Amino acid sequence: MILGLYWLALAIGRAYDSNAPAQSVSILIPAHNAERTIPFLLQSLAHQIYEADIEIIVALDRCTDATRAVVESYRSLLSLKVIEISTVPSFWTPKKYALWRAAQLASHPWCIVIDADVMVQPDWLKGMMKQAHYGKYAVIGYAWLFGNGSIFSELAAYEAALVQLESIGRAKWGFPYMSTGRGWAVRRAWLLTGLYAWREVISGDDDLTLQLLPRSSIAVGPVCSWSSAPTTFTTAYLRKWRHLQTARYYGRTLRLSLAAVPFLQLTLFFLSPYAPWILVIVPAAKFIALGLIRAPKAYNALWADWLLVFLQGLYPLGVMWVRRDW
Query: Which range of residues forms the domain containing residue 190?
Result: 22-231
Q: Is residue 42 part of a domain?
A: yes
Instruction: Choose the final residue of a domain: 205, 231, 257.
Output: 231
Q: Give pLDDT, residue 326.
A: 47
Q: Give pLDDT, residue 231.
A: 87
**In what side-by-side order are the strands of the sheet with 54-61?**
80-85, 54-61, 25-31, 110-113, 184-187, 138-146, 218-228, 119-120
Q: Give pLDDT, residue 322.
A: 61
- The pLDDT of residue 17 is above 70: no
Q: Are residues 82 and 222 in the same domain?
A: yes
Q: Give pLDDT, residue 287.
A: 97
Q: Is residue 258 part of a domain?
A: yes
Q: Is residue 279 part of a domain?
A: yes
- The pLDDT of residue 227 is above 90: yes
Q: Are residues 227 and 254 in the same domain?
A: no
- CATH number for the domain harbouring residue 80: 3.90.550.10
Q: What does the H/E/C string look like for the chain?
A: CHHHHHHHHHHHCCCCCCCCCCCCEEEEEEECCCCCCHHHHHHHHHCCCCCCCEEEEEEEECCCCCHHHHHHCCCCCCCEEEEEECCCCCCCCHHHHHHHHHHHHCCCCEEEECCCCCEECCCHHHHHHCCCCCCCCEEEEEEEEECCCCHHHHHHHHHHHHHHHHHHHHHHCCCCCCCCCCCEEEEHHHHHHHHHHCCCCCCCCCHHHHCCCCHHHEEEEEEEEEEECCCCHHHHHHHHHHHHHHHCCCCHHHHHHHHHHHHHHHHHHHHHHHCCCHHHHHHHHHHHHHHHCCCCCHHHHHHHHHHHHHHHCCHHHHHHCCCCCC
- The pLDDT of residue 217 is above 60: yes
Which residues have CB under 8 Å from 135's CB, separation 6+? 216, 217
Q: Is residue 87 part of a domain?
A: yes
| Mean pLDDT of all residues in 151-171 | 94
Total tally of structural domains belonging to the chain: 2
Q: Give pLDDT, residue 321.
A: 64
Q: Is residue 239 part of a domain?
A: no
Instruction: Choose the final residue of a domain: 231, 259, 284.
Output: 231
What is this structure's pTM?
Answer: 0.92
Q: Is residue 238 part of a domain?
A: no
Q: Are residues 178 and 305 in the same domain?
A: no
Q: Are residues 191 and 256 in the same domain?
A: no
Confidence of residue 16 (pLDDT cuts 50, 70, 90): low
Q: Are residues 53 and 177 in the same domain?
A: yes
Q: Is residue 116 part of a domain?
A: yes
Q: Give pLDDT, residue 98.
A: 97
Which residues have CB under 8 Å from 311's CB, separation 6+? none
Q: pLDDT tens, 177-212? A: 999 888 999 999 999 999 999 999 888 889 999 999
Q: Are residues 187 and 53 in the same domain?
A: yes
Q: Are residues 274 and 171 in the same domain?
A: no
Q: Are residues 38 and 81 in the same domain?
A: yes
Q: Is residue 16 part of a domain?
A: no
- The pLDDT of residue 272 is above 80: no
Instruction: Choose the final residue of a domain: 204, 231, 258.
Output: 231
Q: Are residues 262 and 225 in the same domain?
A: no
Q: Are residues 264 and 225 in the same domain?
A: no
Q: Are residues 120 and 77 in the same domain?
A: yes
Q: Are residues 275 and 208 in the same domain?
A: no
